[in-house]
Structure 1
Amino acid sequence: MMNAVYAGSFDCYTNGHHDIVKKAAVLFDRLYIVIAVNSEKRRRYPAELMQTAIARTLENDGLTNCTVCIHDGVVADFCIENDIGYTIRGLRNRMDYDYEENIATVNKLIAPNLETVYFRADNNGISSSLIAELSKYRKDFSGLVPPAVNELLLRCESE
């Protein structure tokens, strides 16, 4: 079986992220969407709630070969522990490529058989930072995130 992991903070999960998931889900038998928790960073949205919203998005799109997990640790170790041979990364521009190549190099040191596959998102101008900025000023971001994620963000905003 060909298994892959698509890891990120997903704080928040955007249509750009989801576009990459849809493309990767076609190529791999099992795709793990891993919410990578970094204890050094403060999340805007709870990882557990984002996990639920992403899972609902996958279900709504019939992506049955995808699983959403939360992982606190090195993603390459998650791949070793779960017999995953590929890591998926999204690229928006040349700067993303340079950054991702450094991560791929480190992953290879930890897990020599782990290959990195790059995807270009159709919605390449969307970023979690952009969503956070729009949210801060109470601007409509509903067209930039999946409906289940939009519901979560609006709920968190009102609390």
Structure 2
Amino acid sequence: MRALFPGSFDPVTQGHKDILRRAALLFDEVVVCVMFNSNKTGRSPVTERLDRLCAAATDLSNVTVDSHTGGLLVDYCRRVGIDVVIRGVRGVADLDYEMPMARMNHELAGVETFFIAADPALAHISSTLVTTMSQQEPVPK
């Protein structure tokens, strides 16, 4: 079975890499796809994100990397023949955010959502946090 792991991946985090590795163990093929969210402003160029995802998947023979501009996630799923979307969830807030989208994807195109719980050691990590921390000035000792 083929599955899609979509996201902005801006930047690619250890949490993303963990979900990708675990998904690769569960599905015959995983397509990790940089999606464009009109509610988010990209910080890194798409080519850079794709390169980082390719690097994260070098030892995962059943993972391919792609990008999608415009249209709904289900449009991409229909175009490439994918029936399952993978979403990593860090906690209840993520699940509350993801559930309406999962339901809509199912209603619109019969696409199922497979939730993978974040590794507790990585659950505090978000792309926003990584970006914010990387922009901070080091604290003098």
**TM-score, normalising length: structure 2:** 0.90
8 Å Cα contact 1:20/1:90 also seen in 2 = yes
Give the superposed CA RMSD. Answer: 1.2
Residue number in structure 2 paired with 1:26:
25
Distance in 1, matches of 2:83 and 2:26, equals 13
Matched, 1:91 2:124: no
Distance in 2, matches of 1:38 and 1:91, equals 18
Residue number in structure 2 paired with 1:74:
72
State the number of aligned residues.
135
* Structure 2 residue runs without a partner (length 5+): none
Q: CA deviation at 1:94?
A: 0.4
Q: Structure 1 runs of 4+ off > 4 angstroms?
A: none
Matches within 5 A, 1:58-137: 58-59=57-58, 62-72=59-69, 73-112=71-110, 114-122=111-119, 123-137=122-136
8 Å Cα contact 1:11/1:45 also seen in 2 = yes
* Structure 1 residue runs without a partner (length 5+): 140-159
Q: CA deviation at 1:109?
A: 2.2
Q: CA deviation at 1:88?
A: 0.3
Question: Partner letter of residue 121 of structure 1?
Answer: A
Distance in 2, matches of 1:135 and 1:29, equals 35
- Name the SS of the counterpart of 2:100 in structure 1: helix
- Greater helix share, 1 or 2? 1
